[in-house]
Structure 1
């Protein structure tokens, strides 16, 4: 086991957060800032593989203020504000690619001869049938998820009594009052170590349900049902065009008459993140075991070059356009049994909490999740946003 410690171990309560993705990192960060954190308390993030190695490193990073359903509307609004505040405070534009974007719905037909001017200059003329605004720079933004997660992790580790521990949580010891006492971890080499754990937070993304079954009694574990769905993406860098600050939700008619709906998020580093292929591949053991489907990647490339010659990474791309492949990847989106995130105390146990099941909105809603969960843990209730409907 390896650990990154920023200070000597604390003698007080020990909060253990299992999961080093964006939800776990944001939760740790806001816990470390909370004025009610007990003196001498320590906070540890437990991560089995690498920080942001799952969806937190491979998601698109679109942020939306008002695209959320009733149960998550307050969380989404809070999170959107916190993203902007963090960007202002720490220079997010430079550090993690934060910027405000216009978001459009675009209908195209590569077989058509439309006279409508394309809404962005890197889409070809003659293919765009319709477009409409879904969000403006006042309501939609973006981040680079991996860069954001690692930056906030560094801010967390800069505070007293904080640590990042690399290991897999294998068992939890509970007291007679069903309160955590210690957590046992196993390294890749098979060594075991038991660490103090007086508060446990499960934030392991799509692995949360599996982890709950391993660590918790059956009844409480059943309240933490989260699994995953595999999603694919590619990242392309245009060779010629300067891709504008837009996110596109497409409805494309392809050459064979079939339809496709890839999403395209242009990033400030000149790349375009393109996603849209999901399947029901079983969840593997860890993020290190996640691999993309070659067929899904091929499909995304075909859709990208059909949408714009500036997103054509094939060898036949014209010298005036074309793109370079920066990534071909897959991740698993965390899906709860209820279809909404699970945020709050796990019934039947004391000082055990869950924060998972955000589906494709984990990047967007991570800061708000971390803040409200820090309030639930240290104050007994959320005060920044009403998340009562999300309690497990």
Structure 2
């Protein structure tokens, strides 16, 4: 779940396959995509009591974990920022995030998209009287920057999307466009101001590029794919004995809606709709 993200292809989405070779003896569930959606689905399947945890298999195309959208997301969580189609999913996910955090005590925090993180000696801890801030604005250059200040003097700048940027074979093949990074740097200078000199005092801490799966309708797809749509004459068993499922297209809300998606998909795959 781009900062460059609205350019993403559904090919980068998490696809969930549930294959039952012999329901009476062996149940194998293969989840393609080990980002937060795939992991959440595996987690709730393993906790349901209906699926043996050692029969759940996560498959990731990249040579490292969380190389795609999940590993570059801002970790933003919201309970009510969603439109009517996904409002209930957002509320469910928010509740589950709290429950999971209370259970395992793990902080969840990631960074997103074609972005840079900068800091300036003009801002220090002494100036941090109001905690973190977020600014959403529009530039004459045609894009809408998003600026987030962080405790410690760091500033996260993003919002430069490009639907024409080709999707790489794997997430680790993504190449940062330095021209876009320079544009983000210039944007940061305009938004944050200079100290009266021609020399920038912003230090770039980190650069990033992320592809996010999106849909034209703006809502995720969470469903079982009908056999006739699979092609090649493939026929799957009736749930919960088989099927091909998809959970994709969460756009900028993959982290926020992940746990609700995982729980819903687990119930759907086990025929508990």
TM-score by length of 1: 0.53
Given candidates 39, 44, 56, the residue that maps to 1:43 is 56
Name the counterpart of 1:156: none
Structure of greater relative contact order (alpha carbons < 8 Å, 6+ residues apart): 2
Q: 4+ runs of 1 displaced by more than 4 Å?
A: 257-260, 267-270
Q: Are 2:39 and 1:73 equivalent residues in the alignment? A: no
Match of 1:289 in 2: 173
SS of 1:334 mapped into structure 2: coil
Write the mapping of 1:72-221 to structure 2, written as runs, cut at 5 A. Answer: 72-92=86-106, 95-96=107-108, 143-144=109-110
Residue 77 of structure 2: aligned partner: 63
Q: How many Å apart are 1:339 and its aligned residue?
A: 3.1
Change in 2 beyond 3 A, CA 1:370/1:268? farther
Preserved contact between residue 46 and residue 53 of structure 2 (Cα < 8 Å): no
Gaps of 5+ in 1: 1-10, 97-142, 147-230, 382-392
Question: What is the aligned partner in structure 1 of residue 205 from structure 2?
Answer: 326
Any conservation in 2 of the 1:247–1:265 contact (CA below 8 Å)?
Answer: yes
Judged with a 3 Å threshold, the aligned counterparts in structure 2 of structure 1 residues 88 and 363 are, in CA distance, closer, same or farther, namely: same
Higher helix share: 2
Does the Cα contact within 8 Å between 1:13 and 1:41 map onto a contact in 2?
A: no
The alignment's C-alpha RMSD in Å is 2.8
Shift of 1:80: 1.4
Q: When the two structures are aligned, how many residues end up with a matched partner?
A: 229
Higher normalized strand content (fraction of residues): 1
Matched-pair contact (CA < 8 Å) for 2:94–2:257:
yes
SS in 1 for 2:214: strand
Residues 354, 18 of structure 1: alpha-carbon distance in 2 compared, 3 angstrom cutoff: same
SS at match of 1:291: coil
| Whole-Å separation in 1 of the counterparts to 2:138 and 2:97 | 32
Runs (5+) with no aligned partner, structure 2: 1-24, 228-235, 237-241
The alpha carbon displacement at 1:287 in A equals: 0.5
Which structure: larger Rg? Answer: 1
